[in-house]
Structure 1
């Protein structure tokens, strides 16, 4: 009787030990990160800026910046994670560490350089005033008394304010969240013209039969990848961009996404 009882106790202990070991095997070791976690590159963008970034019919982010970001991630050995947010929140996302870099048609202005670091420029477009096809707006002088729509947080918003001051033209500025809303406001007559990046503007003009004219006063900086201050990624990304320029990969992306706008 004693031996039988002892055997049952030993068997129970052995069973409990096995179960504890099995449970422990499936739990991660605290303090150690997986290889996948350390190789994710978090990118911020505002997917409402075609042809640089937008969403296709399936809801997937596509565009020049998306292809560029994927190429950079592949070259550096990362898995790209895309975080879509409003354009005017992108700098803050970098500063708070929510994203590692931003590709969103962002111009490397002196003001932004006070808060983030930039890569070398990868594209330069200029600015354009989009109008209805039959609009009487043909030059910046015609903006007197009109309403000019701009995207919130962009260099075009700052440029419109500067244009009023330097050229002495009195017009109202209406800031909206994205370029798609700007075109909607234009077509419904709530604004007289939409002031935006030329590459983006040209796409809307051709797709929707609109008109417009170039801004002859602009001297805006080119687009670049943005990073948190003192990010180790800046030099690595600059090397990738330099290689893309050298081997023609960057031009291929421009031919794919921007050729119709040039």
Structure 2
């Protein structure tokens, strides 16, 4: 019997049931609507949508607690702002739609910053600069994107990797999945020839499943960030200010190193110049 992919049972349960996960942060005092500088639905609390099938950005423990790079950053930012966080598990499309409809204050997931998404939501400054990886089983000899012509290739619904498959892998047959674990399960069982996913996510699955490897890794032209409602510039600016403070005091890089083996890329350092000397050390 195969072991379930990374966080699959917790993730599926969370998304299916819409489970509410609470993470106490900051311990700030109660706020009234008149004393809400960040435009939150519930003054004093950030309602954060989290996609818990995105290791190492966000995943779920067995008891449903969200963990990961983005979760750690969200918790730290909230604490510095004297706010609490209420996490609600959903998919990436659900998070983006929920921001627009006012269901959430923050999409606390690893989101590719694309022009199409910028039409409907506002992004924080970049928190990571990734690659796009084509994940395959080790018995697959493919080594170029052209090798997947006529092959079944998976990507998560609403993820930037769907466009990558359509634009960069012509002739392949795209199959979309609601979650990463579902796609990984299909890949491991032989129902897919490849799964296209962000580089850090691919690394997490390769560590868990020794039968997986990366056939092709391609650079991306956009940062990975969190998102807020397009009109909520107050929250966006507050998050950026606290991330800037974390960069300066070294806690951002400490959190980064906790979740990623590779150092910050030049593109990320261009966003946060304060990382340059810290990363060199």
Shorter-chain TM-score range: 0.7 to 0.9
Unaligned ranges ≥5, structure 1:
1-31
Counterpart in the other structure of 2:231: 230
What are the equivalent positions in structure 2 for 1:152-191 lying under 5 Å apart? Answer: 152-164=157-169, 169-191=170-192
Counterpart in the other structure of 2:114: 109
Pairwise CA distance, 1:90:
1.0
Contact 1:87 1:177 in 2 (8 A): no
Q: Which has the larger displacement, 130-139 or 113-122?
A: 130-139
CA root-mean-square deviation: 2.0
Contact 1:199 1:261 in 2 (8 A): no
Pairwise CA distance, 1:243:
1.2
Structure possessing the higher radius of gyration over alpha carbons: 1
Counterpart in the other structure of 2:198: 197
Contact 2:257 2:263 in 1 (8 A): no
Deviations 1:57-78 (A, max 9, x none): 2221111111111011111111
Alignment size in residue pairs:
226
Give me the TM-score of the superposition, normalised by structure 2.
0.76
Unaligned ranges ≥5, structure 2:
1-31, 37-41, 265-281
Q: Does 1:61 align with 2:71?
A: no
**How far, CA to CA, are the matches of 2:55 and 2:237 in structure 1?**
28
Which structure has more strand as a fraction of its residues? 2
**How far, CA to CA, are the matches of 1:261 and 1:56 in structure 2?**
26
**How far, CA to CA, are the matches of 2:155 and 2:84 in structure 1?**
34
Q: Does 1:253 align with 2:255?
A: yes
Contact 2:56 2:69 in 1 (8 A): yes
Contact 1:48 1:54 in 2 (8 A): yes
Contact 1:107 1:155 in 2 (8 A): yes
**How far, CA to CA, are the matches of 1:138 and 1:50 in structure 2?**
24
What are the equivalent positions in structure 2 for 1:70-149 lying under 5 Å apart? Answer: 70-149=75-154
Give me the TM-score of the superposition, normalised by structure 1.
0.81
Which structure has more helix as a fraction of its residues? 1
